[in-house]
């Protein structure tokens, strides 16, 4: 059986949703940018790409209409390249790479681009579609199916004994390591800088203007974060389906809402080696397992 190799990768810096660099940047702009950057880094003719696999979580606004295919139009890929969009929420981009690799291993294609992207700023806002967006049938058979992610985090913390102290310590350590890595330039080779127009807002949320910005690093890294500062923050969740008052999740130990994109060129390993292309990694497998919707956050452990 053939093997699949990743020969290039490119990503944007991760922008903070709503007030970050990408708060006014449409989805195809981000996805097309990283696809082009990955192709440039691979040094191959874009016409060699057979298909584009793109993982996306929210399929509306400019992330709709098969964003994978729209990205073909927005990038250097030729019009006869396929475009596919898939949704497995947080693992969508990883799953897209697995699908591309499997296609290569099964001799269905020779080269693909795969990755993922999300613009929270332009999908989760006051314009988010609300008409019949939750199934009454699913609610009748699984009442927790649409539970808010933050409530599932509270449940996981209680159910699996993850203390508030441990969460704050982990969050502080993570920020400190990220800040040190960013300062050392550890992420620089991954990121493909992009210049975009950012919307400016006042404290009340009113738009006050626009400015041109270039994002070349992740916006969520907070140098100087300490456990003491995080431990002083109050939990933010209340009035859930099962959790009346949250005890764990704060603005400091939770992941931020983000905008960004990433893409990889995946191709047959033997071909890459024959052409002396850089092999960054070889696909070895991808598996999934489900869990109860009320403990969604434990899923990656399975």
Determine what percent of the chain is predicted with pLDDT higher than 90: 98
- pLDDT digits 0-9 by tens, 114-161: 999 999 999 999 999 999 999 999 999 999 999 999 999 999 999 999
State pTM to two decimals.
0.96
- pLDDT digits 0-9 by tens, 244-257: 999 999 999 999 99
Tell me what pLDDT residue 143 has: 98
Domain ranges of the chain: 4-301
Tell me what pLDDT residue 44 has: 98
Residues in the chain: 302
Tell me what pLDDT residue 289 has: 93
| Cα 284 from Cα 48, distance rounded (Å) | 23
Tell me what pLDDT residue 186 has: 98
Tell me what pLDDT residue 302 has: 85
- pLDDT digits 0-9 by tens, 226-241: 999 999 999 999 999 9
Considering the segment(s) 4-301 as one domain, its CATH architecture is 3-Layer(aba) Sandwich (3.40)
Cβ-contact 259, 61 below 8 angstroms: no
What residues in the chain have per-residue pLDDT under 50?
A: none
């Amino acid at each position: 059986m053939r093997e699949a190799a990743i020969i290039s990768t490119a990503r944007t810096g991760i922008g903070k949703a709503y007030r970050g660099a990408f708060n006014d940047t449409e989805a195809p702009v981000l996805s097309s940018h990283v696809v082009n950057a990955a192709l440039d880094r691979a040094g191959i003719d874009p016409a060699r790409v057979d298909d584009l696999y793109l993982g996306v979580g929210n399929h509306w606004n400019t992330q709709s209409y098969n964003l994978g295919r729209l990205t073909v139009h927005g990038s250097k890929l030729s019009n006869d390249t396929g475009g596919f969009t898939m949704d497995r929420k947080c693992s969508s981009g990883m799953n897209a790479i697995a699908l591309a690799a499997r296609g290569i291993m099964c001799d269905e294609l020779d080269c693909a681009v795969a990755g993922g992207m999300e613009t929270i700023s332009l999908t989760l806002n006051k314009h988010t579609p609300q008409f019949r967006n939750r199934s009454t049938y699913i609610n009748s058979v699984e009442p927790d199916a649409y539970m808010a992610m933050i409530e599932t985090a509270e449940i996981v913390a209680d159910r699996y004994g993850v203390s508030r102290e441990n969460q704050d310590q982990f969050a502080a350590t993570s920020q400190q390591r990220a800040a040190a890595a960013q300062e050392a330039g550890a992420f620089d080779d991954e990121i493909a800088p992009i210049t975009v127009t950012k919307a400016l807002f006042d404290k009340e949320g009113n738009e006050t203007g626009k400015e041109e910005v270039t994002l070349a690093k992740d916006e969520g890294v907070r140098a100087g974060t300490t456990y003491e500062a995080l431990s002083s923050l109050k939990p933010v969740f209340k009035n859930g389906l099962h959790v009346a008052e949250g005890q764990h999740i704060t603005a400091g130990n939770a992941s931020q809402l983000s905008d960004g994109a990433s893409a990889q060129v995946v191709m047959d390993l033997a071909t890459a080696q024959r052409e002396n292309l850089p092999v960054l990694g070889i696909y070895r497998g991808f598996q999934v397992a489900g869990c109860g919707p009320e403990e969604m956050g434990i899923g990656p452990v399975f």
